[in-house]
Structure 1
Amino acid sequence: MTKPRQRWRPISLMPAFKFAIGSAAETAHTQAENMRLAIDQPDLIDRMELTRMRLVYEDTAQQVDMCREQLKRWCGECTTPEQVKALERLAGIVKQWADDTRLVRDAIDTLLHEG
């Protein structure tokens, strides 16, 4: 899978970025919880679906990395204490998103290797 070209966003778009990232992070969290349950029931998800999920979450991992790069850029642009606090909250959301994405990918790999 090729890495998409990064498009840098101005810091003024941080609220919209936070909304989008928050939604993606919630989805990954829910999927991570579902995959924890699926590990105990390896026949619950067929190999085709697991393979599709692997592709989706490989793409998600790239998106997480791109978001981290965006956050690094914004760190250099922060001009107000409010922006710094908002960026710290957003970094926490991205970290949770990354952790949940990794959990999903690990569970997929485990299930694929058991089958």
Structure 2
Amino acid sequence: MTKPEQRWRPIALMPAFKYAVSTAAETARVQAENMRLAIDQHDVIDRVELARMRVVYEDTQLYIQMCEEQLSRWRGESTTSEQMSALDRLDAIIEQWVDDTESVLDAVNVMLHQP
């Protein structure tokens, strides 16, 4: 996938941004857990579905990068201590999202290379 065009958001939209990021991160967390359970069950997920998941989670990595860029931009603006705390919480959510996305991709790759 080609990286989508970044559209900078004003910091006033941080609550909506946090909701969207939290929802996506939760989806990745659940999928990572499902993949940990499925990794030893070779016939649970077919190769076509695994390939589709790889594409989806590779695209997710691009969106995560865009979210990280947005947070970096907000940190560069003059922000209040409350906003900085909110950005710290968002950072933690995004870090977990990165880890879970990588876990999904690792599991997909393992499963695709199983006989």
TM-score, normalised to structure 2, is: 0.97
- Structure 1 equivalent of residue 19 of structure 2: 19
Task: Give, as a single letter, the amino acid of the residue that structure 2 aligns with 1:66.
Answer: M
Corresponding residue of 2:57: 57
1:88 counterpart residue number: 88
Letter matched to residue 28 of structure 2: A
Shift of 1:77: 1.4
Distance 2:76 2:22 in 1: 22
Where does structure 1 differ by over 2 angstroms across 4 or more consecutive aligned residues? none
Given the two structures, how large is their TM-score scaled by the length of structure 1? 0.97
Q: Which residue is equivalent to 1:100?
A: 100
Residue 79 (structure 1) shift: 1.9
**Deviation at residue 34 of structure 1 after TM alignment:** 0.2
RMSD: 0.8
> Is contact 1:78–1:84 with CA below 8 Å preserved after alignment?
no
Unpaired segments of 5 or more residues in structure 2? none
The structure-2 alpha-carbon separation of the partners of 1:110 and 1:78, relative to structure 1 and needing over 3 Å to count, comes to farther
Counterparts in 2 of 1:100 and 1:78: CA distance versus 1, 3 Å: farther
Name the aligned partner's letter for residue 38 of structure 1.
A
Q: Indicate the percent of aligned positions where both proteins have the same amino acid.
A: 65
